[in-house]
């Protein structure tokens, strides 16, 4: 690899540079892996094709990670008894042969194995137990991130430091991630294949549960006056019938919830809160809401009208609505 090392001078230019590469933090979103908790293959494909996603590229999770990085550095240095020295290199590593890139959190010095890299993560205890198996298993997306950064940094070894966030029970766990030539070769090969697919316009499989926002951005406008003939399509009628049945069921459940809520309003009367119910809390208070103005927009709206006669539509059974 011919890795270029660029010092990060400001956040804006760093974000612009990241758009040209598959970064270590997004490697797990490539179709071959598809294990990123937030990014789907279609989203990273769209991003690299130049689709601009609305909103702040920053968020509370990313800010929390940045704010807690100095705490993780302090915790690791204390836990290692001064054996390790950690430095934040503030560099962007990129390889134009694979279009892979990484921003190491810390370099490790003082280890007999040589220079290492450290990925800093901050998670809640519940996530540590559920997704990290309390340290017995590193999530694959984190492992792939660490492997990619090690490879680009030509580090001797890698480590993930996990700060367990709880104001009354803070802890930090240090987990080793050794170099793995086979896994690194797969990352390189899959990156090259993915960039080739992007160049050839070959879209990855769509996750219809997670890719809603991406689909809307990929198809922002209709062709005026165009129409799609679905005659003979056997899938669409089934999808529409299932959707109609779900809408009818949601409507029924919504009315039943409203009945229960109206009964609770009458029970509460003019009281603000209710006590004595162990598993639930109930309040009935006045809330002040600020007025706001909705900015003009031109979203593309999907409208579906059920044109079937009443006897062919899902029937909403209201007979038991007043039993609650």
CB neighbours of residue 63 within 10 Å: 10
Closest CA to 152 of 307, 2, 310, 321: 2
Q: What is the pLDDT of residue 2?
A: 87
- Interacting residues of 156 by C-beta distance below 8 A, sequence separation 6+: 111, 113, 114, 115, 116, 179
pLDDT digits (tens, 9 = 90+) for 47-72: 999 888 765 556 677 777 788 899 99
| pTM of the predicted model as reported, rounded to 2 decimal places | 0.80
Banded pLDDT at 324 (limits 50, 70, 90)? very low
- Interacting residues of 118 by C-beta distance below 8 A, sequence separation 6+: 76, 86, 104, 105, 106, 107, 108, 158, 159, 160, 161
Does position 321 have pLDDT exceeding 70, yes or no?
no
Closest CA to 25 of 111, 129, 100: 100
pLDDT digits (tens, 9 = 90+) for 74-95: 999 999 998 999 999 999 999 9
pLDDT digits (tens, 9 = 90+) for 249-270: 999 999 999 999 999 999 999 9
Closest CA to 73 of 163, 198, 181, 6: 163
pLDDT digits (tens, 9 = 90+) for 144-154: 999 999 999 99
| Sign, Cα dihedral of 67, 69, 75, 81 | negative
C-beta separation of 158 from 33 below 8 A: no
């Amino acid at each position: 690899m011919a890795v270029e090392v660029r010092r990060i001078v400001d956040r804006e230019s760093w974000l612009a540079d990241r758009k040209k590469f598959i970064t270590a933090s997004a490697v797990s979103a490539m179709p071959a892996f598809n294990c990123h908790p937030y990014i789907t293959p279609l989203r990273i494909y769209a991003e690299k094709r130049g689709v601009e996603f609305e909103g702040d590229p920053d968020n509370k999770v990313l800010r929390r990670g940045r704010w807690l990085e100095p705490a993780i550095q302090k915790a690791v240095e204390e836990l290692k008894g001064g054996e390790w020295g950690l430095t934040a290199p503030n560099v962007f590593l990129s390889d134009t042969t694979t279009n892979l890139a990484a921003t190491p959190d810390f370099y490790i010095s003082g280890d007999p194995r040589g220079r290492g890299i450290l990925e800093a993560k901050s998670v809640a205890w519940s996530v540590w137990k559920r997704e990290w198996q309390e340290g017995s298993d590193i999530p694959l997306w984190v492992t792939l991130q660490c492997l990619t950064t090690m490879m680009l940094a030509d580090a001797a070894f890698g480590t993930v430091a996990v700060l367990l966030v709880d104001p009354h029970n803070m802890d930090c766990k240090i987990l080793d991630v050794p170099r793995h030539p086979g896994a690194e070769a797969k990352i390189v090969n899959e990156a090259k294949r993915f960039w080739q697919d992007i160049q050839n316009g070959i879209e990855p499989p769509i996750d219809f549960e997670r890719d809603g926002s991406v689909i809307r951005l990929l198809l922002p406008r209709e062709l005026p006056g165009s129409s799609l003939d679905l005659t003979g399509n056997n899938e669409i009628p089934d999808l529409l019938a299932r959707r109609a049945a779900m809408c009818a069921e949601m409507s029924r459940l919504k009315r039943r919830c409203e009945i229960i809520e109206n009964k609770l309003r009458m029970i509460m009367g003019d009281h603000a809160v209710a006590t004595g119910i162990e598993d639930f809390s109930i309040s009935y208070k006045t809330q002040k809401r600020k007025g706001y103005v909705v900015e003009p927009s031109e979203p593309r709206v999907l409208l579906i009208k059920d044109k079937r006669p009443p006897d062919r539509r899902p029937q909403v059974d209201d007979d038991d609505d007043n039993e609650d």
